[in-house]
Amino acid sequence: MPVEVIQGDITRLAVDAIVNAANEALAGGGGVDGAIHRAAGPGLDADCRRIPFVRPHVRCPTGEARITGGHALPARHVIHTVGPVWHGGNAGEAALLASCYRACLQLAAAHGLDSIAFPAISCGVFGYPLEQAARVAVAAASDWLRQQPRPARVLLCGFDARMQALYRDALARQP
């Protein structure tokens, strides 16, 4: 199945896992992170706190992923990843962003999950240019679907019509 592009609130999706664009402490925050924590309820924060620190203040380094339960969400799991902060494009941002998508897909596969939905990681306060981020997301998701049996459904969830259109454009330009 090709990558699916949808528009809306990721917290409403009844998929096996939704991805959270988190921070390295998995401490909650604004944007989609805040929305996911609000919709999931306090059990999600409790799960996050049980994830061990790999170094001071860091439970999930940039480009990696961690999995928790979905609690009150319609999704069964939340996969937390930390996108790169945009520093102009010469600080390894594209590789780190692609790594986020792959790490989430790998974790979903390891847990036997069949469907996963991504928000536009790094496209809010982390400042990644939207068109470039859409291209990274579509390439990473399409590569995965070509090579791996699961998750068989990968959804890219744009919060607004503009992000959805950028995903569609990137998908149309895929080889």
The residue among 16, 6, 24 whose CA lies nearest residue 109 is: 16
Tell me which of 4, 31, 45, 142 binds ligand AR6, using CB under 6 A: 31
Q: Which residue, 22 or 103, has its beta carbon nearer to ligand AR6?
A: 22
Task: Indicate if 16 belongs to the active site.
Answer: no
The residue among 38, 50, 30 whose CA lies nearest residue 12 is: 38
Under the binding rule (CB under 6 A), the answer on residue 120 touching ligand AR6 is: yes
**Three-state DSSP class for 6?**
strand
Dist. CA 155–CA 141, nearest whole Å:
9
Under the binding rule (CB under 6 A), the answer on residue 23 touching ligand AR6 is: yes
Under the binding rule (CB under 6 A), the answer on residue 159 touching ligand AR6 is: yes
Under the binding rule (CB under 6 A), the answer on residue 10 touching ligand AR6 is: yes
Under the binding rule (CB under 6 A), the answer on residue 157 touching ligand AR6 is: yes
- DSSP letter at 21 equals E
Which residue stretches of 51-121 are H helix? 93-110
Catalytic residue among 16, 33, 114, 160: 33
Rg (CA), the chain: 15
Dist. CA 14–CA 6, nearest whole Å:
13
* Among the residue ranges 27-35, 50-58, 63-71, 93-101, the one whose residues contact ligand AR6 (CB under 6 A): 27-35
- Site track for ligand AR6 across 69-98, x = CB under 6 A: --------------x---------------
Under the binding rule (CB under 6 A), the answer on residue 124 touching ligand AR6 is: yes
63, 96 Cβ separation under 8 angstroms: yes
Q: Which residue, 24 or 114, has its beta carbon nearer to ligand AR6?
A: 24
Tell me the catalytic residues: 33
